[in-house]
């Protein structure tokens, strides 16, 4: 074959592949912006775009959805008598319109009805969070379940691992589930002492070089979950690493928010962990002690709904929760997020809320750990500020908290960022809390964080052409971030 014929063949092969890939993208029914972004990448970056698409683009999750369905069915059959199955919101739940409608929306999105926690503790520094988790682990007598996106084999990670080794040797069941990308610095040598002590470890969506599949890279568990004896749970934004500790990172320690939850909502947290464990291991261990009973008389009025979302289903409960909270707000919206790359719907909800007179304040990092995400975020700021939204840029250090507080009475805290990756691609978890006391504490923290932030001001002519072009390009790629 001559070089001319070879070149013609390659061009035809590329065109056929482009048509097939474009057809697959269109049939996936993503958002128009995401579909167009991928099509442009494939068209104008024929080799780089194709390579990136093959690694990150396809959303072939049918087998994974079936696997999750098997996990859910088995767990529901085993634990249904310990999981709240009410059709209506429980007695004592706030009867105002926003709370009732939000709770109904989340229930119809597959998240169950609100449950009353015995207590909720806010943990707003890494050191306070690690201390609380370590104390709870030390007191555990039956099982310790942990799931993390990032676990580093540094000072904090090693200290926590060694505590788990002690508990495993004492006969406590220990299960540790780590994300294969986020925790890629953890190796076999680090985990072996834990496994030798009797603990079970597993990887979420592990990477196989020999059999690399797109979903291995793109779909991660971004969840941070700890469950102890089925009674105490932790969720939030704090990973297991020295970045969050002021003892290790001094004044550079990341600002973050975590929750300790006591009581009945931990049953759902346990259920979510066991789903993920089954997904990773094809094993769904179940014991009655995983779901201990709680008497109705002992419950306080810390009403809470735990939300899970991920590419395994199309309900997008967390995205719906954010939208409903913002759209339903009457007085105030306070949003803290490290990665602000909103969808068109959430952008419109924020702007509409501000234009109808709601106080909308956004707290973001002055500089996040991703330059591209920072640029994409800033491409939205001018339009938001013009609509009356106040934006403050925190730090340094890095702001990593994910918190939304509405009307001083409803709050959402967890692992999900305000971006497409968290709302569509990652496996995430959030707690929606219907409690004015917790909301007040989070508002107080928001006000304290503002002291370490500075208001964003529209740059106008001060922005160079290069800066504007970079931000515009980053925004174009925002559906892929």
Point out the residues that are catalytic. 222, 224, 229, 400, 402, 407
Tokens of 202: 């597993």
Closest C-alpha to 229, from 268, 173, 178: 173
φ, ψ dihedrals at 234, nearest 5°: -130, 135
- The CA dihedral of 336, 217, 59, 111, to the nearest 10 degrees, is -40
DSSP for residue 329: -
Listed in sequence order, the residues at least 6 apart from 243 whose beta carbon sits closer than 8 Å to its beta carbon are 126, 249, 253, 254, 398
- For 290, counting Cβ atoms within 10 Å of its Cβ (0-12 exposed, 13-18 middle, 19+ buried), the class is buried
The C-alpha atoms of residue 67 and residue 216 are separated, in whole angstroms, by 15
Give the H or E element holding residue 127: helix 126-139
Region of 407 please: left (phi>0), alpha (psi -120 to 50) or beta. left
The C-alpha atoms of residue 467 and residue 461 are separated, in whole angstroms, by 11
| Contact in structure between 133 and 144 (CB atoms under 8 Å) | no
Residue showing tokens 């959430």: 346
Sign for the CA dihedral angle at 259, 265, 266, 268 comes to negative
| Contact in structure between 438 and 411 (CB atoms under 8 Å) | yes
- Quickly list H helices, 282-411: 317-328, 344-355, 371-386
Bridge-based pairing state of the strands 410-414 and 403-406? antiparallel
């Amino acid at each position: 074959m001559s070089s001319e014929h070879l070149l013609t063949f390659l061009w035809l092969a590329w065109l056929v592949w482009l048509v097939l890939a474009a057809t697959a993208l269109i049939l996936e029914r993503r958002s128009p912006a995401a579909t167009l972004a991928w099509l442009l990448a494939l068209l104008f970056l024929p080799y780089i775009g194709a390579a990136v698409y093959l690694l990150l683009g396809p959303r072939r999750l049918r087998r994974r959805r079936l696997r999750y369905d098997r996990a859910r069915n088995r767990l529901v059959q085993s634990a249904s008598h310990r999981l709240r199955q009410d059709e209506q919101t429980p007695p004592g739940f706030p009867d105002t319109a926003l709370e009732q409608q939000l709770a109904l929306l989340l229930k119809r999105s597959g998240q169950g009805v609100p449950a009353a926690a015995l207590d909720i503790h806010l943990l707003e520094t890494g050191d306070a969070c690690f201390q609380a988790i370590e104390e709870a682990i030390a007191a555990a007598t039956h099982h310790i379940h942990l799931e993390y996106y990032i676990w580093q084999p540094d000072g904090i990670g090693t200290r926590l691992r060694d505590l788990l080794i002690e508990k495993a040797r004492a006969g406590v069941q220990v299960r540790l589930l780590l994300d294969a990308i986020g925790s890629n610095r953890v190796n076999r040598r680090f985990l072996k002492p834990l496994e030798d002590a009797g603990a079970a470890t597993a990887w979420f969506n592990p990477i196989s070089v020999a059999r690399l599949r797109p979903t291995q890279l793109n779909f991660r568990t971004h969840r941070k979950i700890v469950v102890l004896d089925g009674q105490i749970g932790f969720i939030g934004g704090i990973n297991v690493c020295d970045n969050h500790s002021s003892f290790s990172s001094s004044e550079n320690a990341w600002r973050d928010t975590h929750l300790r939850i006591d009581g009945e909502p931990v049953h759902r947290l346990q259920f979510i962990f066991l789903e993920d464990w089954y997904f990773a291991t094809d094993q769904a261990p179940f014991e009655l002690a995983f779901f201990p009973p709680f008497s109705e008389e002992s419950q306080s009025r810390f009403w809470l709904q735990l939300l899970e979302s991920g590419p395994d289903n199309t309900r997008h409960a967390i995205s719906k929760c954010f939208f409903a909270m913002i759209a339903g707000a009457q007085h105030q919206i306070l949003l803290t997020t490290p990665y602000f790359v909103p969808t068109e719907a959430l952008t419109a909800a924020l702007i509409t809320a501000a234009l109808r007179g709601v106080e909308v304040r956004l707290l973001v990092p002055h500089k996040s750990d991703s330059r591209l995400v920072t640029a994409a975020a800033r491409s939205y700021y001018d339009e938001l500020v013009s609509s009356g939204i106040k934006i403050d840029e925190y730090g340094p250090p890095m702001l990593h908290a994910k918190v939304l507080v509405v009307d001083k009475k409803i709050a959402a805290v967890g692992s999900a960022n305000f971006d497409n990756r968290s709302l569509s691609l990652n496996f995430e978890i959030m707690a929606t809390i219907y409690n004015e006391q917790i909301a007040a504490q989070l508002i107080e923290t928001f006000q304290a964080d503002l002291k370490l932030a500075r208001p964003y001001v529209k740059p106008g002519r001060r922005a160079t052409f290069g800066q504007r072009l970079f931000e515009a390009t980053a925004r174009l790629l925002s559906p892929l971030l």
